[in-house]
Structure 1
Amino acid sequence: MKQKIVIKVSMPCEKCRTKALKIAAISQGVISVALEGGDEKDKVVVIGERVDAAGLTSRLKKKVNDASIWSVEEVKPPKKEEQKNEKKEEKSPAYYCPTYCPPPSEYHKVVVYDSYPNTCTLM
């Protein structure tokens, strides 16, 4: 069962944010870690399986600054209908050209202009 854990941590500087992300990332069972909270970026969002939220919060308190659990919720897998819709969207063309591009062909013409003709002594 995947969980989404949001922990509010007092992080006044960029170094504290980096340290908090590292601590959360090395925890057992963590799949992804992110920062949220607008301009302040004061919330660490952890997604994982069987993550110890209380233990992670206590480590963040000891190593970074004051921390508290904001929310813990279960992440539900997407419904089958949504997965089918995603697969339909993936059938787009292999490349996209913002302007008109002719389709690739087997034969290409290469035009080379030699500014000094007949200067090659080897040929």
Structure 2
Amino acid sequence: MMQTIVIELPLHCAKCKKKILAICTTADGVTMVTLEREGRDRVVIKGEDVDAARVTEHLREKVTRHARLVSVTNDE
């Protein structure tokens, strides 16, 4: 089952963006990662059986403590 995960976090610099993309793309089941900068900085992850809590935890540990899981929706 496809999922769409939205995580809100500050995107300070190119180095942070690179770390965020590296963490998100190496998670199991991820097929697509996009960065959104409209109003609030967000990462949108699409994939199958992705552990959203684990990805958010890794982002908090490696990049910023301010990563917040906004939503997880199942796409059919």
Give the unaligned 5+ runs of structure 2: none
* 2:55 counterpart residue number: 56
Map residues 57-72 of structure 1 onto 2, 5 A cutoff. Answer: 57-65=56-64, 66-72=66-72
* 1:9 counterpart residue number: 9
Flag the structure with larger Rg.
1
- State the number of aligned residues: 75
- Distance, in Å, in 2 between the alignment partners of 1:43 and 1:19 is 14
Using structure 1 for the length normalisation, give the TM-score: 0.57
User: What percentage of aligned pairs have identical amino acids?
Assistant: 43
Conservation of the 8 A alpha-carbon contact between 1:11 and 1:64: no
Deviations 1:84-117 (A, max 9, x none): xxxxxxxxxxxxxxxxxxxxxxxxxxxxxxxxxx
- Deviating beyond 3 angstroms after TM superposition, the runs of 4 or more aligned structure 1 residues are none
- Distance, in Å, in 2 between the alignment partners of 1:59 and 1:37 is 21
Higher RCO (CA-CA < 8 Å; seq separation 6+): 2
